Amino acid sequence: MMSLEEQVKGRNLKLHDMCLRDGMHSMRHQITLDQMVDIASGLDDAGVPLIQVTHGDGLGGSSLNYGRGLHTDREYISAVAKVVKNATISVLHVPGIGTLDELRMAADSGAGCVHVASHCTEADVTEQHIGLGRELGLDTVGFLMMAHMTTPEHLVEQALLMEGYGATTIYCVDSAGYMLPDDVTVRIGGLRTALQDATEIGFHAHHNLGMGVANSLAAVAAGADRIDGSAAGLGAGAGNTPLELMAAVSERMGIDTGVDLFKLMDVAEDRVLPIMPQPPRADRDSITLGFAGVYSTFLYQAKEAEQKYGLSARDILIELARKKMIGGQEDMIEDTALSMAKERDLV
């Protein structure tokens, strides 16, 4: 059997930074324009080819349900577009949350890539949005979230739909940080076999079980061309794959990312870490996300409900997993907590 290093050596890999989008969750969508510009220009200078800049829940995500952004997506994207020299700015776009007009706005403001996201079984809601992404000339990515919730075979079917709509890259997204390396291998391998050779494959991890780097390596070995991560790991739950860690491991294993490792380490340490209220850590609630398979951004409102109703956030998260709640259903956190509190005579 080939060693992992033999499988990945010499491969080219695109690293995609998420700290200014997924990290918005941890920052409760309050990153300032100055912080965005500072971090994005650092990432650009370090040679990170793709930088995502959007509200944590994507275009149009600013809401009572997910939290209001300190600035609009237009303000964030335009500000970053002014300073970035080489990197492509990407945005997250979830049909059902963002509208086509918002995608047009993002392209006008300087975005060159879009992750069009749906739950892993609902790819057929992305047709209009992938179509518009292509029409606008964007690097158009189909982003299948919560991919642990369906079989590898069904994930492939959904990926083929997105490819058929025009997506030129397809992601397997471990939104709950639930997957173990074998789960990643079989999914990415299935995608690589089924999709056209020209279609790129990506993997997006959450570090809730501490598997971000290991899972990302498994993805590369199985054929992934793009890996999402976040400088200093800034992202929902216990964060995303720390990008500087992934870059360091890649270099050791002979994967070519084109990124200046030391510069990237400095961005994480000097620019990202200082803005965090606390560094992402796999605390008991984040581990619960990964252990039970819960959407990583549920962490924050579950913790708030714990304070408000005297329930344990872990109990709430386990209940949300039992009810099979998926990405975007933040409203069900308060609802579930209220129902639990009623049952326990706490309200």
Partner 1 sequence: MDKIKCAIIGPGNIGTDLLYKLLRSEVLEPVWMVGIEAGSEGLARAKEFGLKTTAEGVDGLVPHVIEDGVQIAFDATSAYVHAENSRKLNELGVLMIDLTPAAIGPLCVPPINLKDLAGRKTMNVNMVTCAGQATIPMVAAVSSVQKVDYAEIIATVASKSIGMGTRKNIDEFTRTTSAAVAKVGGATKGKAIVIVNPAEPPLMMRDTVFCETADEPDQEAITAAVHEMIAAVQQYVPGYQLKNGPTFDGRKVSIFLEVEGLGDFLPKYAGNLDIMTAAAARTAEMFAQDILDGQLKLEPVKENA
Residue 124 sits in the site that holds partner 1 (CB under 8 A): yes
CA 301, 324, 208, 273 torsion-angle sign: negative
Residue 122 sits in the site that holds partner 1 (CB under 8 A): yes
Residue choice 63, 135, 180, 261 for contact with partner 1 (CB under 8 A): 63
The stretch near partner 1 (CB under 8 A) out of 37-45, 108-116, 180-188, 326-334 is 326-334
The stretch near partner 1 (CB under 8 A) out of 18-26, 124-132, 234-242, 270-278 is 124-132
Q: CB nearer to partner 1: give 5 or 101.
A: 101
Residue 72 sits in the site that holds partner 1 (CB under 8 A): no
Q: CB 186 → partner 1: shortest distance, Å?
A: 20
Residue 318 sits in the site that holds partner 1 (CB under 8 A): no
d(CA 194, CA 248): 31
The stretch near partner 1 (CB under 8 A) out of 15-23, 168-176, 179-187, 335-343 is 335-343
Q: CB 260 → partner 1: shortest distance, Å?
A: 40
- Please provide the DSSP assignment of 223-273 as one string: T-SEEEEBGGG-SSTT-B-BHHHHHHHHHHTT-B----HHHHHHIIIIIIG
Residue choice 37, 125, 186, 273 for contact with partner 1 (CB under 8 A): 125
Residues acting as catalytic residues: 25
Residue 96 sits in the site that holds partner 1 (CB under 8 A): yes
N residues, the chain: 347
d(CA 113, CA 106): 9
Site string for partner 1, 98-117 (x = CB under 8 A): -xxx----------------
The stretch near partner 1 (CB under 8 A) out of 33-41, 168-176, 252-260, 329-337 is 329-337
d(CA 8, CA 203): 15
- Looking up tokens 């079917």, which residue turns up? 157
d(CA 187, CA 178): 13
Residue 227 — φ and ψ, nearest 5°?
-130, 130
Residue 304 sits in the site that holds partner 1 (CB under 8 A): no
Convert 153-216 into a string of H (helix), E (strand) and C (coil): HHHHHHHHHHHHHCCCEEEEECCCCCCCHHHHHHHHHHHHHHCCCCCEEEEECECCCCCHHHHH
CB atoms within 10 A of CB 342: 11
Residues that bind partner 1 (CB under 8 A): 60, 63-65, 95-97, 99-101, 119, 121-122, 124-125, 127-129, 149, 323-326, 328-332, 334-335, 338-339, 342
